[in-house]
Structure formats: structure tokens, C-alpha cells
Structure 1
Amino acid sequence: MEAERVHEIAILSRKSIPEEYIRSKNEQPGTTTVQGKVLEVPTVDFSDPDEEKLVRQVMEASRDWGMFQVVNHEIPSEVIRKLQAVGKHFFELPREEKEVYARPPGSNSLEGYGTRLQKEVDGKKCWVDHLFHKIWPPSAINFHFWPKNPPSYREANEEYAKHLHGVADKLFKCMSIGLGLEGHELKEAAGGDELEYLLKINYYPPCPRPDLALGVVAHTDMSTITILVPNEVQGLQAFKDGHWCVVKYFPNALVIHVGDQIEIISNGRYKSVLHRTTVSKDETRMSWPVFLEPPADFFVGPHPKLVNDNENPPKYKTKKYSDYAYCKLNKLPQ
């Protein structure tokens, strides 16, 4: 069992936070966030019947931002509400009930309840607890990490997973055509129907010094695409034009992040977004990202149709996804 969970530290912390949660000067959101500016990332309306327009919008957002929001995505609001409700219920349980689902010590898998995720630089920690588990495909699911309390947890997550497929396929198709590929080729290069949907629930309790701490430090996602649902508490920031800015969230939208694997497959034409998460002094922030990941043994590299030896040589290595993930989490060179 990990010695500390952020939820417990937050309850005890009234005016200050432990030293290990205070970020370095060049990371502290109180001084590095552009004040008074809200970043309005591109918004894509999935109900638009003009497919050429959709492709262009997704392509431009993936190229210029690495991030966008999707509205009218056809996932019923009630399905999302239930997903959020059961996740919130779990994190409000007593610690001993949550520890039943703790990530096993020394495990190479991310699945389970925990606090520490990756190698920590200078011993600094993030102000967040989390729960990871796969929600698709059925063959990859380990229900040991799915909470049994509340009893409706499984039903809510399975229903959400069922609705995500349409969104994911539409995203892959638009991105693929935007690269000049056939509609199916980008998804196939990322793992095809064997893509694994890894859900992470982030729980950021109130923090007495939100100017000094970060929920999640600056990073790009190692996935192909990340599809994220936040709660009503703002906290997502993106690095744009050399500055950290708050990302304006539109109600009922899905936040899309281009991940490292799409940047690799596109040979750099699409960019994985550098982002981080801040915390609130008075409110609990939560988010539900789903990372669409290639299978562990799947090899990912620049798509052969997007490279040539003369004008556009490969900018990235082709490597097994599990090897990429190991290097990323342990901050080793790729």
C-alpha cells in the first residue's frame, strides 16, 4: 500500500501543502499561467453533414493545436452523467474500500487505484489520485480493477464504452483522410480493431495552494487519441505559442487530445498536445480520459505512404508500443 493518498493529505492540509507537492518556480501555475486569457481551442460539430468540412476542421486542429472539442457527438448526456456519478461515488468511499483496487506493487500495468504514475523528477509529486482500468475490448478487461461499489459502476462504464466506438471511428476516419490516406488506414496503423480503451479517472481534491501545485505535470499523452470528459471544475491548460493558458471547456463536449502515436504515424504532421492540469482551492476537480492505445506488442512507426527517403524521411523510430510506454513512463530516451 502506498503510504499516502492525496485525498487524505488534502483533508489534513488547511493552509499549506507538503514540500514535495510544491512545483519548481518554472512550473508553478500561479506565475506561469497567462492571466485573464482563456484559450478557445477549435470546436468540431459532429452533426455537420458536410464531411469535407469535418475532415478539414479535424485535420487543421490536429495539425495546429493537437487538441479540440467535439460537440453533438451522439453520446447521450445521461450516459456521461452516470459515468461521472459512479466514478465520484468510488472516490468518496473510505480509503480501505478503495485500496482493494490498488495497483499491485512492481506491476508493469497501469491498472488499479493509485497516486504515483511515473518517475518523479526531484521527488516532486502531483496533487491527484487515480483509477485506471481497461474498458475495451472484452478480452483485455480485468474486472478485478472495476469497483463493485457502487453496484451500477460496471453497467455505467460498459454503456459509455459502447458509445465511444462511433466517436473514435469518426475521429480516425477524419484524421486519416486529412493526411491523404484512405479512411481506414490510420486506425489500422494504430492497432485496428485491437485498439485498447484505457480509462483513467483523475481525482483532484481541493488544494490550499493551487498556485504552487499541479494536478498533472506538463506532458503529452502516449496514446493514439485521448477522449476526455471533465467535470464542471476548470483546470485543463495547454501550452500554446510559448505560454500556458487555461482551456475553455464547453458543456457536454468531449475534449480530444492527439497523442504521441498519431504524431509518429503521421510523421509529425499531427502534433501531440503538451498540456497540464491545475487544481482548485475550494472544489474537487475530476476527469475521465480514455486513452486509445495499440496492443502492447503492436509496432508503431511513420506510415509508409507518408514518408520517402528524399523529401520526407522518417522522423520517428518504429517500435513496439510497450517499449515506447516503458521509456515514456521512466523518462528514458526514445
Structure 2
Amino acid sequence: MAPGEERVQALASAAIHKLPDMFVRLAHEQPANSKAIEGVKVPVISLSGPRDAVVDKMRRACSEWGFFLATDHGIPGPLIEQVKRVGVEFFELPHAEKEKLANDRSAGDFEGYGTKMTYNHEQKVEWLDYYFHLLFPPCKVRHERWPHHPPSYKEVTEEYNREIVRVTGELLEMLSEGLGSEKSVLRTCLGGDNIEFEMKINFYPPCPQPQLVLGVEPHTDMSALTILVPNDVPGLQLWKDGQWVAVDYVPDALFIHIGDQIEVLSNGKYKGVLHRSLVNKERTRMSWAVFAAPPQEAIIGPLPELVNEVNPAKYKTRTFAEFRHCKLNKLPLD
């Protein structure tokens, strides 16, 4: 942790009544001044339906929303609850224990326990602590950077990873079919067996003035797909048709976000979803996000079969490393 930084969880535990200025968003960004509309339901898709129907529903959801809730995905509910339990238990550890696994962003090491203290242009920061580590492929995984407590963390997370890899493969096949392509196309372009899976446990403690802050500011994910499960505290909002839409909690559903890499590969037919996270005054919000991303050297551009004189390429072809550098440093992508 850099000098002058303090964990958000520690601030919340100190029962402060007034937020430090660095957390207070500009007036137009504050949730009190940019409320989500009510009564709009996001797409919910059962993966157990007839394949043609599921592919069509997924195509429409990803074209119109860039997001959907997946049910009947085959991941056992008790396993999802175990994943949540071991994550909660880590954040309940004493401060000194968590700090033993703190990451070192200044050295380019993002794996471990951290606080989102990266400033935006307005010098505002997010009400968020997190734990981040690589899940897959095995040759790149550093288990020493995973939480050591609770002891069951490794076993539970590895079992969950196997399920997530399976589900991601199925989703990529159906998303490929929705583009009118061979079912293997997206997975192949994203690296095949070398697709990287990253776990990020987001921890948003109670906030004394939630109407003034954001847990995560509006963004699209630079990954290809994000598969997320939250606890039952609401907070995720999507940008749709010029307004914020709140996403309701659905037990055992997977929250599927289309990321930047699939938007590029689909030449804009699928949309990377702009989203943000709000926080709660009384309760801790948590979410478990797995990002499926291509390896750094993968070259990502619009699929050739989707580009012609009528539909020219809308995105530049580049390596994922180049894309990531531009995104992290807020450089132009065109």
C-alpha cells in the first residue's frame, strides 16, 4: 500500500460520519443526481432451453444490452455459496493478516489484496477494497498470491474455476453462432486453451454517505467476458438508452458482461456494457468477478467474415497488450 493510502474497510470500521473529499464525486456523477430508472428488467436467459432459442436470446441481449443473467448454467448452488463464504472469511481476517498479501502496483504486480486508489481525471477514488489473482491457465497461476486463509480457499476456488472455464466455453460457442460464425471462432481468436481467467473479489463496506460516492465508476471491462456473482446487496447498474438501469439480485444466476474484446471481434454487433457500482449505508456489498481475457500477445480485431464494403471494420486490430496499455492509461483507442 502506498504512503498515505488507507483501506476503505478500515475507514468504514472507524465509523466516520463525513467522507474524505477524495471519495466525493462531482455533482453530476453522484448517485443522488443520476438515479436509475425503475421497472426495467434486464434479460434473463436459461441455458437449458433449446439451443437455437438460447442462441437467439443471447444474440439479442448482447446486441441490445451487452449483458444478461444466465440461469440453469450447471454450476451447483452450494459451490457458489462456498465461493462467497471463503471470500467473506478472507475479508473478515485481521488487518495485519490481509496486509501480508497486499499487492504492489508500483512494481506492476496487481495480484493480491488492494484498494482502488487509481485516480481519474477529477482525482476521485472509489469506495472499494479487493482481492485479485489469476485463476487459469495453470502454467501462469501463482498460488502463493492466493489467500492463505481460510484454508479451504484454494480447493473451493479451483473447483469453481473448472466450472467457470466450462461455462465460458459454452457461452463463447453460442455467441459465435449468434454472429453466424462457426462455434469455435471466438474461443480460438481469444487464445483457445490459453485464455486467461482472473478472479477479482470486490468488497464495498458500508458507507456513511453512499449518495455521494461510487463503488466503481462507469466503465466497460477490457476482458472478453466477465462472469460475476454478487451477494444480495444491490448496487450494479447498467447504462441503457441514455439512462442507468438497476440490476436485481437473482440467486445463483451468473451476471454475464460482454467486454471490449468481444465487442471488437464482433465488429460492434455485440456491445461492451457500460456499468457502475453503488454502495450501501448499512450493509457490505460484495461481488466475485471472473474475467476471461486473451493472452497479452493475442491479436484482436474484427472477424474477417463480419467486415465488407457495407460494414467496414469499426475497430483497429492490435494485440491485447496494446489495447490494455491504452485502456489503463486512458489513451485513444482509434
TM-score for the superposition, normalised by structure 2: 0.96
After superposition, the Cα gap between the structure-2 partners of 1:238 and 1:105, relative to the gap in structure 1 and judged at 3 Å, is: closer
Equivalent residue number for residue 27 of structure 2: 25
Structure 1 distance, partners of 2:276, 2:156, is 27
Judge which range, 213-222 or 107-116, deviates more.
107-116
Judge which range, 116-125 or 286-295, deviates more.
116-125
Equivalent residue number for residue 159 of structure 2: 159
Query: Alpha-carbon deviations, 1:17-55, whole Å to 9, x = none?
Result: 1111011111101110135x143110110111x110010
Structure 2 distance, partners of 1:115, 1:38, is 34
After superposition, the Cα gap between the structure-2 partners of 1:39 and 1:129, relative to the gap in structure 1 and judged at 3 Å, is: farther
Q: Map 1:222-261; keep pairs closer than 5 Å.
A: 222-261=222-261
Q: Partner amino acid for 1:134?
A: L
Structure 2 distance, partners of 1:26, 1:112, is 33
Query: Alpha-carbon deviations, 1:269-322, whole Å to 9, x = none?
Result: 1000000000000000000010001001111111111112x1111111111111
Give 1:119 shift. Answer: 4.3
Structure 2 distance, partners of 1:182, 1:13, is 55
After superposition, the Cα gap between the structure-2 partners of 1:109 and 1:324, relative to the gap in structure 1 and judged at 3 Å, is: farther
Structure 1 distance, partners of 2:117, 2:42, is 28
After superposition, the Cα gap between the structure-2 partners of 1:13 and 1:327, relative to the gap in structure 1 and judged at 3 Å, is: farther
Give 1:107 shift. Answer: 3.1
Contact kept, 8 Å, 1:38 with 1:248, in 2: the verdict is no
Q: Partner amino acid for 2:160?
A: Y
Structure 2 distance, partners of 1:126, 1:69, is 25
Equivalent residue number for residue 112 of structure 1: 112
Q: Partner amino acid for 1:43?
A: V
Alignment length, in residue pairs? 331
After superposition, the Cα gap between the structure-2 partners of 1:218 and 1:156, relative to the gap in structure 1 and judged at 3 Å, is: same
C-alpha RMSD of the superposition: 1.2
Contact kept, 8 Å, 2:70 with 2:255, in 1: the verdict is yes
Structure 2 distance, partners of 1:326, 1:94, is 35
Equivalent residue number for residue 188 of structure 2: 188
- Confirm or deny that 1:333 pairs with 2:319: no
Equivalent residue number for residue 43 of structure 2: 42
- Confirm or deny that 1:148 pairs with 2:148: yes
Contact kept, 8 Å, 2:7 with 2:115, in 1: the verdict is yes
Q: Partner amino acid for 1:107?
A: A
After superposition, the Cα gap between the structure-2 partners of 1:117 and 1:15, relative to the gap in structure 1 and judged at 3 Å, is: closer
Q: Partner amino acid for 2:321?
A: S
Equivalent residue number for residue 288 of structure 1: 288
Percent identity reads 45
User: Which runs of 5 or more residues in structure 1 are unaligned?
Assistant: none
Secondary structure of 2:155 counterpart: helix
- Confirm or deny that 1:201 pairs with 2:197: no
Equivalent residue number for residue 82 of structure 2: 82
Structure 1 distance, partners of 2:188, 2:7, is 39
Equivalent residue number for residue 14 of structure 1: 16
